Structure formats: structure tokens, C-alpha cells
Amino acid sequence: MGMPPIVKTVNLRKYYLAYKIGLLDRLFGKKPAWVRAVDSVSIEIEEGETLGLIGESGSGKTTLGKLLVTLEKPDGGEYYFMGEKVTEDKIPWVRQQVAMVFQNPYSSLNPRLTVKEIISEPLGHFDEDKVREAMEMVGLNYREHGNKRPRELSGGQVQRVAIARAIIKRPRFIVLDEPTSALDASLQAQVLNLLMDLKEQLKLTYLFITHNIAVAYYISDRVAIMYAGKVVEAGDVDEVFKKPMHPYTQLLMKSVPTIGRKELEPPTGEVPSLVNPPPGCRFHPRCPYVMPICREKEPQLINTSNRLVACWLYQQQ
């Protein structure tokens, strides 16, 4: 074996309280309810690759991204960064080498700071050369844009500012949370191509979170599909897209509007509640191939022909 994967999680979990439990509730014996946003997720990301994390809203993909940049603390499981187990005292070390870009740049950047202040903030001090260099790398002009505030820039430009801010400390690993979904159609391709160029140039590793299947295909080397807090399938992007194995992935692909195909064939029903997920496999109420065991026992994510799949169709019962 060569290098350890830059990111590795083992049964990582994050639960949130669904509502506040007051003293009275406690006296009356009300039990806390937990939202299982990320439930026993094990993934690996190799240095230099882009892992596309696909999932619908509420599938836990953003929470997983936040766990990996230590913005959230896990409630269980292990997280290894560059082969080292991440504990409380390792968090500052991890934070030196990771960054995150959020979906809506207008709400994730301080509206009262100028562009150059926003970009230099992660450094802790102002360094004109570094800011200028980062701005040039994302296609912004220091003299023209440096003194503007976010509201004076267009959506595409503000997202470039967020990207410049993410790369200024030369991180190794960046979590990109739907970075193009708030952008105009004509700007989406610009930003995607910029991200791919930066990855080459700076030898970055990306976790690209998205619900847009086509965007995931375009940017990723490998993809992982999340459903209701769990990874249900992961593998090489071409293989997963050509031959999806999990029934959810199959129906997801048939739901994507594509030029040249007029018919959509989505799964019936809706994404389940994470407070009270269905027993057994979480997809079973919507699955066309449901078997008795799916209702009782949860399938594990196992390796079948170079693919990770969590489905009883592919494993011994």
C-alpha cells in the first residue's frame, strides 16, 4: 500500500436533537427524538481525486461535508485525516489543511468586508501579494474588485471570491457544497471549469456535494450516493453512471432531465424522515424490488465487483 487516503471515515455518525427538551418535558417523561443526519458512514477519499457526493435534500450530505472540515463534531465513529485519527487536539492541525465553499456566497461571506479583506481573513493578517495571487487564480482583478463588497459583485464573481478565500492557505482538501447551484446557467460551466483547473494547478482533493447528477458526473472521478443519512452506493463515476446497481441510484438516473429523452421515471413516494427512518433498508418503501428481508434487516455497504453497494439484491442473506 502507498499513501493512506487523505480522508477516511469509519462508521461516522452525527445525530441532532429534533426538538428542545425542557424541564417540564423531562418531568412528563418525554423522550428526546434524534435526527440521524449521518448514520454510520464509511468513505475514503484518495489524495488528488474528486469525490462527488450525490444526495437529495435531507440525505445528510452537507452534514458529512461539515464533519470532514471539523465544523461539526461527530457523535460516533472515527475520522482519519492523512492517516491520522482526528481527535480534539488534532482539530487545529486539520483546519490548517482543509477549506469549505458554501452554496450561497451572499450569505456565507461577510457583507460588510471588502473582497480583499474577505480573502485574507483565513490568513489572520493582511498579505497583499497572497491576496492578489489568489484573486488572479480565480480570474478576479485585484485593483478592480479588491475594494468592492459582495453585494457589488455578480453571483459568479462572489462565488469566485469564496473560492479564492478557500485556496489562500493552500489547503490539501476542499469541501465544495453545491458551489454552482445558485448560479446562472451561463456561469455554471465557467465556475466548474475554474474548479477543475485549480485542482490541477494546486494538487487539491475535492469532496463535491451536489444534487445535480450531471454536474457530479462532469466534475468527479468517483461518486458516492447518499440516501437518508447512509451511503447506498459508491464507485468509479463512469461505472456507476453506466450501470447503477442500487435501485435508488437506478431510479435517480431515470429522474434526471436529459436532452434526447422525453420520459422521466422517478421512484414513487418521498424521502423518509430521518427522525423515524423505516426499519431495515431505508429505501424499501419506495423500492420496486423490495423483498421480505429488506423490511427487517439493514444491508451493509459491501464491495461487489469494484463497487460499494448496500442492497440485499447483491448479498447473501
Partner 1 sequence: MPGNAFVSGKIMVDGVNLLELSEKEMEKYRGTTVFMVLQNPFTSLNPVKTIGYQLMEAARIRMERGGERYSEDRAYEMAIQALKDLRFPDPEIIMLRYPHQLSGGQIQRVVLAMSLILKPKILIADEPTSALDVTIQAQVINLFKQLSKEMETAILFITHDISLAYVISTRLVVLYAGRIMEDGDIESVIREPMHPYTQGLIAGVPDLSKFVSGKVKLQSIPGNPPSFLDLPSGCKFHPRCPYVKDICKVQEPKLTRVNNRIVRCWLYGG
* Residue of 27, 57, 89, 129 that binds partner 1 (CB under 8 A): 57
Q: Which is nearer to partner 1, 88 or 263 (CB)?
A: 263
The number of CA neighbours under 13 Å toward the Cβ of 71 is 13
The residue type found at 148 is K
Q: To 5 degrees, how large is the angle CA 175–CA 181–CA 185?
A: 135
- State how far the alpha carbon of 27 is from the alpha carbons of 30, 33, 280, 313, in Å: 8, 16, 33, 46
For residue 236, the one-letter residue type is D
Q: HSE-up of 159 (CA within 13 Å, CB side)?
A: 22
CB of 209 to partner 1, least distance (A): 14
Nearer to partner 1, 7 or 163 (CB): 163
Q: Which of residues 266-295 bind partner 1 (CB under 8 A)?
A: 266-268, 270-271
Within a 13 Å sphere around the CA of 168, how many CA atoms are in the beta-carbon half?
29
Q: Which is nearer to partner 1, 256 or 313 (CB)?
A: 256
One residue of 104, 254, 291, 313 binding partner 1 per CB under 8 A: 254
CA distance 223 to 261: 23
Q: Does 17 bind partner 1 (CB under 8 A)?
A: no
Positions in 167-226 near partner 1 (CB under 8 A): 184-190, 192-193, 211-215, 217-218
Q: How far is the CB of 188 from partner 1 (least distance, A)?
A: 7
Binding mask 91-130 for partner 1 (x = CB under 8 A): ----------------------------------------
258 binds partner 1 (CB under 8 A): yes
Single out the residue of 25, 84, 128, 265 in contact with partner 1 (rule: CB under 8 A).
Answer: 265
Nearer to partner 1, 186 or 316 (CB): 186
Which C-beta is closer to partner 1: that of 7 or that of 138?
138
Contact 292, 304 (CB under 8 A): no
Stretch that binds partner 1, among 26-34, 82-90, 200-208, 247-255 (CB under 8 A): 247-255
Assign 226 to helix, strand or coil: strand
Quote the least distance from Cβ 63 to partner 1, whole Å. 16
**CB 217 to partner 1: min, Å:** 6
Rounded distance between C-alpha atoms, residue 313 and residue 233, angstroms: 13
Strand ranges inside the chain, DSSP E: 7-17, 34-41, 44-45, 50-54, 76-81, 84-85, 98-101, 173-177, 205-210, 222-227, 230-236, 302-304, 307-309
Torsion angle (degrees, nearest 10) of CA 272, 277, 282, 286? -40
How many residues form the binding site for partner 1 (CB under 8 A)? 41
Does position 252 interact with partner 1 (CB under 8 A)? The reply is yes
Which positions touch partner 1 (CB under 8 A)? 56-57, 154, 156-157, 184-190, 192-193, 211-215, 217-218, 238, 241, 251-252, 254-262, 264-268, 270-271
